[in-house]
Structure 1
Amino acid sequence: MTTVASTTSSTSTNTAAAASTAASNASTVDYNQFLQLLVAQLKNQDPTQPMDSTAYLSQLASFSQVEQQTNTNKKLDTLLSASALQSADAAIGKTVTSADGTVSGTVASVSLVSGGAPIATLKDGSKVTLDSSVSISG
């Protein structure tokens, strides 16, 4: 009787090891990487020794949580952008004074900066960052 070593189990082991190494090398795994790892694991599992159903359900629950968190982050970004636009709109035509009082004037325009506070350009050309330390008056 001849025995043949299963190549599927070694492929599965290699894939799992590569996935584990990739996950440990990266500080975080994003949504797409998580999905690719899950699909690779499912494709390369040994049919004679399928994955434990509780582990599979746990991974699906993790996948669902990652998806929900991604959607929540997108909604939060949208809300923050809307808030920045409202702040910028409210500042145009108002008088602003920097926290130290060195810069003061009427706001002519406002620029939105990704991930930061809006920057107001005054009528005299000077610029002030519209953060909580700036006073805005009517």
Structure 2
Amino acid sequence: MQDTMSANSATGSASSSSASSASSSANSGASLQSTFLQLLVTQLQNQDPTNPMDSSQMTSQLAEINTVTGISQLNTSLSSLSTQLNAGQTSQAALLINSSVLAPGNSITVASGKTNEFGVQLATAEDNVQVNVVNSSGQVVNTLNLGNQLAGTVPITWSPVDSSGNALPAGNYTITATGVLPTGAAGTATALTPGVVESVVQGANGAPSLVLSNGNTVPLTSVAAVL
């Protein structure tokens, strides 16, 4: 009887000491595993021989603590990999400085006698793809009919004229792209406008973004074409 009480007392003392140590240490997978193993060894040393621990529960607990440690190590590895990938993408983005690219946008500048390059990006094939050119007064001055197009980037080289073929005055214009899905529903055509890459900045989640001459800042992954 006294032996049993001594064993229970030792178990309680060891558990209290280990819990105190765990609360003062960092909550990392390694420290949790170390604390768990200390508690387990103490419990095995002081268990009642007539009522030993259930081996299946012990195995389950070991598996759980190993899973926690593995997840912690995986998160650290993924974080390191993400940092390396972002650094590589930033180096690639820097090579685009002073290059003209097509990226999502709606504003184009018309200069006398100069053709414009822009485009449309389609996630899926669409029918009756059109680009409307709107002046600063909100009037549609021309509509470019591109017909049926497959998914991807559709580049456009356009001489700035109105629907009657008259040259448009210099200034800023807005373009919007529309299309129809084969099902008859409205498409999701995206207008692409040109811009010269002026610099590279850190965007969301550390990924690089490009600062363009047209005033837009776009993620590197949104660049549809390099002109």
Measured against the shorter chain, the TM-score band is 0.5 to 0.7
Compute the TM-score of the two structures, normalised by the length of structure 1: 0.58
Residue equivalent to 2:224: 135
The answer on whether the counterparts of 1:84 and 1:112 sit within 8 Å (CA) in structure 2 is: no
Residue equivalent to 1:25: none
Using the TM superposition, give the Cα deviation of residue 85 of structure 1 relative to its aligned residue in structure 2, in angstroms: 1.4
In the alignment, which of 100, 103, 123 is matched to residue 95 of structure 1?
100
SS at match of 1:65: helix
- Which amino acid in the other structure matches residue 121 of structure 1? V
Residue equivalent to 1:26: none
Residue equivalent to 2:38: 43
The answer on whether the counterparts of 1:94 and 1:136 sit within 8 Å (CA) in structure 2 is: no
Residue equivalent to 1:54: 59
Using the TM superposition, give the Cα deviation of residue 76 of structure 1 relative to its aligned residue in structure 2, in angstroms: 2.2
Residue equivalent to 1:34: 29
Find the aligned partners of 2:62 and 2:35 in 1 and give their Cα distance: 16
Structure 1 segments of 4+ aligned residues over 6 angstroms from their partners: 13-16
Using the TM superposition, give the Cα deviation of residue 122 of structure 1 relative to its aligned residue in structure 2, in angstroms: 2.9
Find the aligned partners of 1:41 and 1:86 in 2 and give their Cα distance: 45
- Which amino acid in the other structure matches residue 128 of structure 1? T
The answer on whether the counterparts of 1:98 and 1:128 sit within 8 Å (CA) in structure 2 is: no
Query: Residues 41 and 116 (structure 1 numbering): CA distance in 2 closer, same or farther, change over 3 Å?
Result: closer
Rg larger for: 2
Q: Which runs of 5+ in 2 are unaligned?
A: 108-192
Residue equivalent to 2:210: 120
Using the TM superposition, give the Cα deviation of residue 68 of structure 1 relative to its aligned residue in structure 2, in angstroms: 4.7
Using the TM superposition, give the Cα deviation of residue 127 of structure 1 relative to its aligned residue in structure 2, in angstroms: 3.3
Residue equivalent to 2:199: 109
The answer on whether the counterparts of 1:110 and 1:119 sit within 8 Å (CA) in structure 2 is: yes
Compute the TM-score of the two structures, normalised by the length of structure 2: 0.40
Find the aligned partners of 2:31 and 2:73 in 1 and give their Cα distance: 17
State the identity %: 24
Find the aligned partners of 2:82 and 2:194 in 1 and give their Cα distance: 31
Using the TM superposition, give the Cα deviation of residue 43 of structure 1 relative to its aligned residue in structure 2, in angstroms: 2.6
Q: Which runs of 5+ in 1 are unaligned?
A: 23-30
Query: Residues 87 and 8 (structure 1 numbering): CA distance in 2 closer, same or farther, change over 3 Å?
Result: farther
1:9 equivalent to 2:11? Answer yes
Q: Number of aligned pairs? A: 125
Find the aligned partners of 1:130 and 1:2 in 2 and give their Cα distance: 73
Q: How large is the RMSD of aligned CA atoms in angstroms? A: 4.0
